[in-house]
Amino acid sequence: MTGADNQQERLDGYIAGYVDGEGSFSVSVQRNRTCRVGFQLVPEFHVSQNGDRAQVVELIRGRLGCGYIKPNSKRDRALVFVVRERRALLDSVIHFFERVPLLSSKRTDFEKFAHIVRRMVLGHHRTLAGFGELLEEALSMNGGGRFRQVQWRELVAFQNPQRLYAGQG
Amino acid sequence: MTGADNQQERLDGYIAGYVDGEGSFSVSVQRNRTCRVGFQLVPEFHVSQNGDRAQVVELIRGRLGCGYIKPNSKRDRALVFVVRERRALLDSVIHFFERVPLLSSKRTDFEKFAHIVRRMVLGHHRTLAGFGELLEEALSMNGGGRFRQVQWRELVAFQNPQRLYAGQG
């Protein structure tokens, strides 16, 4: 190890620590009529930061070499760094946090996220069975979001009853 | 550098990153009739964490070897790691973040904090001039807190007009 490696290890650790506090790995469910089940799964990695101190999101974008920074909302000055592009999620984001792991239980969400993205890269979400399986996993992330879960399960089942259940088991 | 050093660098980086997001260096002003100016400065380092994932605050307390963890409030499950003991702030907290710096502009607050704690260890706050100087610096931290600033300035001036102004310049 050289001094430069040492600095790099510390910087990578810094990014993991910052992301463990302010980052989020999520998979949202969105309507999309062009998809077979009428919905799509949208994996997203994001990290927020107060607009007064944008340095960290810029540093993370620079290190990961992907994604974009945008205002979080019109109401405040917060910025958010976002990666949605699937290949960038896999090659950059997931690769990074497998090498430099999160240390809180947010790591469980990251592992589910990585599993879902890998399955999607292989096209598993395009089969009904695969979509159902990934939907279940997505809904179990980030504390489960109980109300959202019920809502989406019912909506998907209502819109595509035979399709969704035909695809399971 | 060995593999263990490497892991340690990464862990220390992680702590700096987490603290840059979720930590705070502050100096509050509290009434204290036993102090000459009627108020005291209370430097505090704290780091918050959702109670569902207490691992990180425990890890930080373990690494810094000082402070305590308590519920943040009765209303939620958040925990907070707190260091107020002046010698621990100096020997452990300040020493750590001087070696492994914050990378956002929160670093400016940390530097003011370190300066105030060092001055207090030397007893500068016990003179009226010293107290006035450190109060100014404390009030300029964490975005200035405009309302709080006016309030405290007026309060201190009101209670000890000649003392406070006599101590300046």
- Note the pLDDT of residue B165: 46
B96-100 own/partner pairs: CB under 8 Å, 24+ apart:
B96/B12, B96/B15, B96/B63, B96/B64, B97/B16, B97/B19, B99/B12, B100/A10, B100/B12, B100/B13, B100/B15, B100/B16
Q: What is the pLDDT of residues B49-83, one digit of tens each?
A: 877 778 999 999 999 999 999 998 888 888 999 99
**Chain B interface includes A166 (CB < 8 A):** no
Helix axes A128-139, A106-121, angle to 10 degrees: 160
* The Cα angle at residue A91 between residues A87 and A96, in degrees rounded to 5: 140
The pLDDT-based confidence of A77 (bands split at 50, 70, 90) is: confident
Beta-strand runs (E) in B94-141: none
Instruction: Report, as ranges of residue numbers, the positions in chain B whose pLDDT lies below 70.
Output: 1-2, 144-169
Helix (H, G, I), strand (E, B) or coil at A56: helix
Q: What is the mean pLDDT of residues A132-147?
A: 81
CA–CA dist B135, B149 (Å, integer): 10
Residues 6+ apart with CB under 8 A from A88: A64, A66, A67
Record: contact B20-A20, CB cut-off 8 A: no
Record: contact B105-A52, CB cut-off 8 A: yes
Compare CB distances from A104 to B5, B12, B53 and report the shortest one's residue: B53
Burial per residue of A47-75, b for 16 or more beta-carbon CB atoms within 10 angstroms, e otherwise: bbbbeebbebbebbbeebebbeeeebeee
- Note the pLDDT of residue A145: 58
Record: contact B103-A55, CB cut-off 8 A: yes
Contact call for residues A82 and A106 (beta carbons, < 8 A) = no
More confident residue, A36 or A151: A36
* Mean of all residue pLDDT scores within chain A: 85
Q: Which residue has the tokens 């980052």?
A: A23
- Note the pLDDT of residue B167: 42
Helix axes B106-121, B128-139, angle to 10 degrees: 160
Q: What is the mean pLDDT of residues A65-91?
A: 93
The structure tokens listed for B6 are: 């490497």
The percent of chain B in helix, strand and coil, each rounded to the nearest 5, is 60, 15, 25
- Note the pLDDT of residue A165: 46
Contacts of B15 in chain A (CB under 8 A): 17
**Chain B interface includes A98 (CB < 8 A):** no
Q: pTM of the entire structure?
A: 0.86
Contact call for residues B85 and B66 (beta carbons, < 8 A) = yes
CA–CA dist A143, B55 (Å, integer): 16
Residues 6+ apart with CB under 8 A from B52: A105, A143, B77
> Which CA distances in Å does B44 have to A51, A159, B104, B168?
24, 55, 19, 25
User: How much of chain A exceeds pLDDT 70, in percent?
Assistant: 82
Q: What is the pLDDT of residues A103-125, one digit of tens each?
A: 998 999 999 999 999 999 999 99
The structure tokens listed for A82 are: 């976002």
